[in-house]
Amino acid sequence: MATFIVLMGAPGAGKGTQAKLLQEKLGLPQVATGDLFRANLKNQTELGKLANSYMEKGELVPDEVTVAMVKDRLSQPDCVKGAILDGFPRTVAQADALDHLLAEAFHGKISIVPHIHVDVAALVERLQKRAEIEGRADDNEETIRNRMKVYEEATAPLLEYYAARGLLVEIDGDRPIEVVQADLVQQITQASS
């Protein structure tokens, strides 16, 4: 059976870094919704045009459009063994849609939901350093703390949703990258066997 992993973590928790390492280690593609949106918009796909029609009005792209992009991506040949979902789902409604999508279209289900947790103070420090390196003046401490608050409020129900289903695994992200990676690989291997 295919291995579908929902990787969760606040901005700055190292989710993107870990997803790329997992991709290499497990041979599963990283499916990041941000990348999907950019690719669909750039390539002027029907889904990209539809998403853009909402974005131009300053509206949120409806879940069904995002789910359709994820479905399209997961139907690509490199996802036959599964995928690492990064940035999706973001809400319980999207999580329900993902469950139905995986069951109906791919005869699969989510294997595990690792949540990379890092203390807020450490996240703020990491994001400030990243902002300095990338020259992003908008990432000051106040903005970063607000993003953390929004993330926690938005994802708390999702964490509860996956915990209730026995899929959530807490990963301490406040350790060296290779230690976090080893922990993730061990947890995913256990869940997939």
Identify whether the C-beta of residue 22 lies closer than 8 Å to the C-beta of residue 78: no
Of 25, 71, 145, 147, the catalytic one is 147
List strand residue ranges (DSSP E) for the chain, in order.
3-9, 30-32, 82-86, 110-117, 168-172
Q: Cβ atoms within 10 A of the Cβ of 96, count?
A: 14
Cβ-Cβ contacts under 8 Å for 159 (sequence gap 6 or more): 8, 115, 168
Active-site residue, selected from the candidate residues 38, 49, 129, 136: 136
> What is the number of residues in the chain?
193
Check if 165 is active-site: no
To the query of whether residue 73 is one of the catalytic residues in this protein, the response is no
Choosing from 90, 109, 145, 175, which is the catalytic residue? 90
- β-pairing, 30-32 vs 3-9, is unpaired
Catalytic residue among 25, 130, 145, 175: 130
Looking at beta carbons, which pairs linking 89-94 to residues 24 or more positions away fall under 8 Å? 89/6, 89/158, 90/154, 90/155, 90/158, 91/63, 91/154, 91/157, 91/158, 92/157, 92/158, 92/161, 93/63, 94/63, 94/66, 94/67
* Residue 42 known to be catalytic: no
Q: Is 147 a catalytic residue?
A: yes
- Give the catalytic positions in this structure: 15, 90, 130, 136, 147
